[in-house]
């Protein structure tokens, strides 16, 4: 199985092309870094690969087949701003269980306390909320994970804790991980290879 974007092109309506004919592939168990300046289209590329938008040209495939929009998606994405990725009217128990029911060992590994799940998003810190978004993305059907500046807004200690946990889980389950980041030191430390963008 491989996640592949072939000849991808994207721009916002009426705007300039952010990228054209871009190719990227991700293997199970591989960690790939995607770096580039702000505004170069890194997040837009991540959204195309995760199925949140359709490329203007090109195709995204998983195991050689076009991505489907039904059922649990094997490609999950974690966004930089967790508060924008959740329904503010849902308690976190409902958010985390969206698509699957997480087990206690995963919640413990991510430092998610039981009382977190009974709260609403605005009752958690950014780090606590991001942990819940990561748990939601790590269902048993997840084969590829796109982490878009996943820990940029968090303090250094929380960043290190979250990355350690995610990398351990990805390695154990052979999840392909695409790391979108401005942090070249992080990318160089944790990634098998790096793709420069823009």
Task: Give yes or no for residue 184 having a pLDDT over 90.
Answer: no
186: domain CATH number? Answer: 3.40.50.300
Task: Give yes or no for residue 65 having a pLDDT over 90.
Answer: no
The pTM for the full model equals 0.91
Give me the domain span that covers residue 116. 3-196
Mean pLDDT taken over the chain: 90
114-165 pLDDT, tens digit per residue, is 999 999 999 999 889 999 999 999 988 899 999 999 988 778 888 888 899 9
Which residue's structure tokens are 């991700």?
26
Output the pLDDT for position 198: 66
CB 26 within 8 A of CB 62: no
Give the closest residue to 96 by CA, choosing from 119, 65, 127, 66.
119
Please compute the mean of the pLDDT values over residues 97-105 and round it to a whole number.
79
Please compute the mean of the pLDDT values over residues 162-179 and round it to a whole number.
94
Copy the structure tokens of residue 20.
């054209």
d(CA 72, CA 138): 11
Q: Work out how many domains the chain is built from and give that number.
A: 1
Output the pLDDT for position 115: 93
Give the closest residue to 95 by CA, choosing from 84, 109, 80, 111.
84
Task: Give yes or no for residue 71 having a pLDDT over 80.
Answer: no
Greater model confidence, 159 or 25: 25
Output the pLDDT for position 70: 54
27-58 pLDDT, tens digit per residue, is 999 999 999 888 889 999 999 999 999 999 99
Output the pLDDT for position 11: 93
């Amino acid at each position: 199985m491989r996640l592949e974007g072939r000849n991808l092109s994207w721009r916002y309506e009426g705007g300039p092309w952010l990228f054209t004919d871009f190719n990227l592939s991700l293997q199970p168990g591989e960690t790939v870094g995607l770096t580039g300046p702000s505004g170069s289209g890194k997040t837009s590329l991540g959204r195309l690969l995760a199925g949140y938008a359709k490329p203007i040209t090109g195709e995204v495939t998983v195991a050689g087949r076009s991505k489907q929009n039904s059922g649990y998606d094997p490609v999950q994405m974690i966004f930089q701003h967790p508060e924008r990725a959740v329904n503010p009217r849902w308690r976190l128990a409902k958010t985390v269980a969206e698509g699957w029911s997480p087990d206690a060992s995963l919640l413990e590994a991510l430092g998610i306390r039981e009382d977190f799940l009974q709260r609403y998003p605005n009752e958690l810190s950014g780090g606590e909320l991001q942990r819940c978004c990561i748990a939601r993305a790590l269902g048993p059907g997840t084969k590829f994970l796109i982490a878009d500046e996943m820990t940029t807004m968090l303090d250094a200690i929380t960043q290190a804790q979250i990355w350690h946990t995610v990398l351990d889980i990805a390695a154990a389950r052979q999840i392909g991980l695409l790391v979108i980041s401005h942090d070249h030191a992080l990318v160089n430390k944790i990634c098998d290879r790096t793709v420069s963008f823009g």
